[in-house]
Structure 1
Amino acid sequence: MRQPKISLLIRRLGFPCLCLRIKKDSDQREFYSLSKNKINMTSSLPEAKGKRCMEAGFGWVLTVSSSGELNLLKPLTRSQIQLPSCTTFPDNQDTDFSDFLFIQRVALSANPSHASSFVLMVIHEWGQFLGFWRPGDLTWTSIEPGIHHFGDVRFYNGIFYAVDRHGDVWAWDESSSKLKCVFGTNPRSFINRDAYLVESSSGKLLTITRDGVLLNEEDDQSYGVNNFKVIQLDVTKCEWEEITCLGNDAIFVGHSSAVAIVASAFPDVIKSNCIYFTDDCWEAYTYREMLGRGGGRLGLGGGEDMGIYHLEDGSIERFSNIESVSFISPPVWISF
């Protein structure tokens, strides 16, 4: 089967491409070009129609339907891997599985395109649990202990690491049936913040925390990012350090995605010591009925808060010429 043109585009670019919302009553997805600063391509993705998409790594995304159907989808080739339904999670109580709060983050241990044995890890049930699936499993398995508020999970040096909203770092590998708390970072850096785990180009594990204005349905105020903080973790020594410079790296964060690239490899396109972000304000997507009652901009959904954060001086460049408002699926960075 002939590959979609988007696959050739991303292969040629070499850096993450921004996949926008699916058009209304269509299976067409728009792709935003950082080099041209505009939407420069659309691609048919019927496999993602009406579903929430979450970046899982290695060019794969997890698609979640409102009925709980789960699949791994590779947009570049439209390959799919069918997964057990959300209904197979232990003690699941949800009925609308496309809700942001059911599955929040996703991580792969290896590229399913090249590995027959891998682990797919998710944060589910309002961030309380980590759950995993391996090829051949008929159900999802939750990892004990649960009842946390996990912010992100990432596979790093053969181990899955998760960070919770208190700043505690947890570890799990396949030889263990339980999570292990490795150490705690600075709690003040995590209060009311979203968190992302990412491996830098030099092999360091970083936590990126995101602070911003949240939605307020009473006065219909604007929302968006105020600042980011970067914490470098040493999981061997159980130490952490807040850093203010990413060197030559640029980091891309968004809904279930965090990836670092070397900016100098893409001169005049990618800016070093910057964080490229997409709209991850789950309230804008989740409170669709409540915010839509009185009309106004908050009833439109999420997808407005996107741009580039300069770590050096804290300035923000907004992506002003993109419209990707949706109740279902946030803009997603897709890498190859």
Structure 2
Amino acid sequence: MSQWAHLPKELLDMISKCLDSRVDLVCFRAVCTSWRYSASSPSFDQEIPRLILKLPSPIHADAILMQTAVCRMELISKYPNSFSSFSKSWLVKVGESKYGKQQLLNPLTNYKIKYSPISVNFLDFKFVQLNKAFLLQQSRRFLVFGIIKVVPFPISASCSNMDGFGILAIYHEGKLGYWKYGDKEWTLLDYKNFQYDDIIVYREQFYVIDRRGTVYWIDSSLKVIQYSPPLYGCGGQKNLVESRGDLYVVDRYLDGERRTWKDYENVMDYSDNPFRVRKLRKQSRPRAVDLRVYKLDEELATWVDVKSLDDQIFVLGTDCSFSISCREFNGGKGNCIYFVDGDDHAGRGLSASSIHVFQLEDRSIGKLDVMPEFSDIFWPPNMFDSSIQNNPGLDL
């Protein structure tokens, strides 16, 4: 990093102005001290106007495309005598509030981290971006009903420049569609398959998977091209995860049927009665009883049953899935999968008690809030540590 730290201030300023979002700018400025003070600082004092996307039927809504950054939050080593030799780091999401301020979020539920057991000066931390995530949000922090997953298409699409801006989405019960800014209707990309489960950007390309476990590549012309053989996994929900350059599928076995579009319509019909909405969600949300992991062998065009993830941790969030190494975080345990249990992707969000951990070693599932040994990788730290106590907390 030493040679990068001495890049000319003018060059760093030019690079920072090319970044797509304020979240990217925060991560850029957090690389090191020289980058922080060389790049232009975002203004947090004034509210930033949001661009409203007027989505047409059947997902008729006025929504905002929200971008967050999954980051490793690292303590800068400025207290060499006050803590042990291993690096202190935590998994967080960096997002932007409606007032234009950066805020820390839970990486699985997107809940705002409202407090910390210690006072922290964020100038003592740097943020290493691991992944990006996107979701469509309506007013009052509600997510858009019926949208399972969404990503900008193409990858370089930015709300700051609407020329060519579009989004790729899985909606209803599994339809794959595309919407370009200004279009009066969605473009359905596959008229035969309405059972898509997940989208991932892998090697700078877009891939989707359906419930049979078949992976498809979406080219620049929006053609859907089969990329893998069917997995024929018997699970009810599939997620794509990239880990160390390979493509994996997590097949989730559920104890009931997943929601249908009629369930979403019923929720909207009873939107004037919050009690009935909560009751409907509770009754119709299936739970995971087992998870299976498979890796795609691209040379042999086959799926390999994975028995161990070694030091890797898979994180299945509400808006993106990714992998991390437990060795890069405090007290993390590998060979496990963090996931949000239930099929609720259309409400305000999920509480921390919804986060579960699946351990491949014994195939057990437990709640994170009663498994403190698995929660050490998240901010805020569970235990008070005087080595990182500092001045009152600052905005990022």
TM above 0.5, one fold?
A: yes
Residues 195-214 of structure 1 mapped to structure 2, 5 A cutoff: 195-201=238-244, 203-214=245-256
TM-score by length of 1: 0.58
Q: Report matched runs for 1:315-330 at 5 Å.
A: 315-320=364-369
Give me the whole-angstrom Cα distance separating, in 2, the residues matched to 1:7 and 1:158: 17
1:194 deviates by 1.2
Alpha-carbon distance in structure 2 between the residues aligned to 1:11 and 1:309 = 24
Shift of 1:244: 1.2
| Amino acid paired to 2:208 | A
With normalisation by structure 2, the TM-score equals: 0.50
Q: Which residue identity lines up with residue 314 of structure 1 in the other structure?
A: R
Q: Partner residue of 2:38?
A: none
Whether 1:142 aligns to 2:187 is yes
CA distance in 2, matches of 1:3, 1:241: 48
Number of paired residues?
A: 248
Q: Note the C-alpha offset of 1:264.
A: 0.8
Q: Which runs of 5+ in 1 are unaligned?
A: 43-56, 70-95, 289-300, 323-332
**Residue 66 of structure 1: how far off its partner (Å):** 7.2
How far apart are the structure 2 equivalents of 1:110 and 1:265? 28
Residue 152 of structure 1: how far off its partner (Å): 0.5
Output the amino acid matched with 2:226.
C
CA distance in 2, matches of 1:260, 1:9: 12
Asked whether the equivalents of residues 279 and 302 of structure 1 are also in contact (C-alpha less than 8 Å), the reply is no
Which whole-Å CA distance do the structure 1 matches of 2:355 and 2:248 have between them? Answer: 21
2-structure distance, mates of 1:7, 1:198: 16
Query: For residue 205 of structure 1, what is the amino acid of its counterpart?
Result: L
- The CA deviation at 1:120 is 4.0
Task: Decide which of 219, 222, 231 is 1:186's aligned counterpart.
Answer: 231
Q: Does 1:107 align with 2:154?
A: no
- Aligned counterpart, 1:259: 322
Aligned match of 2:340 in 266, 273, 278? 278
CA shift for structure 1 position 186: 2.8
CA distance in structure 2 between the partners assigned to 1:3 and 1:9 by the alignment: 20
Larger radius of gyration: 2
Cα offset for 1:274?
A: 0.9
Q: Over residues 284-307 of structure 1, what are the superposed CA-to-partner deviations in whole Å (9 max), with x where a residue is unaligned?
A: x67x9xxxxxxxxxxxx9644312
- Residue 158 of structure 1 aligns with an amino acid whose one-letter code is E
> Which structure has greater helix proportion?
2
Quickly say closer, same or farther: Cα 1:222–1:199, change in 2 above 3 A: closer
Distance 1:62 1:31, change over 3 A: closer
> Does residue 1:121 correspond to 2:137, yes or no?
no
SS in 1 for 2:369: coil
Look up the SS of the partner of 2:334 in the other structure.
coil
Q: Is the 8 A contact 2:294 2:305 kept in 1?
A: yes
Q: 1:166 to 1:260 in 2, by over 3 A?
A: same
In the TM superposition, what whole-angstrom CA distance separates every residue of 1:136-155 from its partner, at most 9, and x where no partner exists?
x4337535323421010112
Counterpart position of 1:52: none
Tell me, in whole angstroms, the C-alpha distance in 2 between the residues paired with 1:310 and 1:238. Answer: 28
Aligned-partner residue type, residue 275 of structure 1 = I
**How many angstroms apart in 2 are the aligned matches of 1:279 and 1:12?**
28
* Aligned counterparts, 1:150-169, within 5 A: 150-169=196-215
Specify the alignment match of 1:308 in structure 2.
357
C-alpha displacement at 1:239, in angstroms? Answer: 1.4
CA distance in 2, matches of 1:271, 1:148: 37
Displacement after TM superposition at 1:262 (Å): 1.4
**Distance in 2 (alpha carbons) for counterparts of 1:7 and 1:159:** 19
Q: Deviations over 1:311-333 (max 9, x none)?
A: 111122312379xxxxxxxxxx9
* Greater strand fraction, Structure 1 or Structure 2: 1
Unmatched 5+ residue regions in structure 2? 1-41, 46-67, 76-88, 117-129, 258-278, 372-377, 380-396
Letter in 2 for 1:196: N
User: What residue is the counterpart of 1:62 in the other structure?
Assistant: 135
Aligned equivalent of 1:41, options 115, 125, 130: 115
Correspondence for 1:49: none
Distance in 2 between residues matched to 1:237 and 1:132, nearest whole Å = 35
Local SS of the residue matching 2:310:
coil
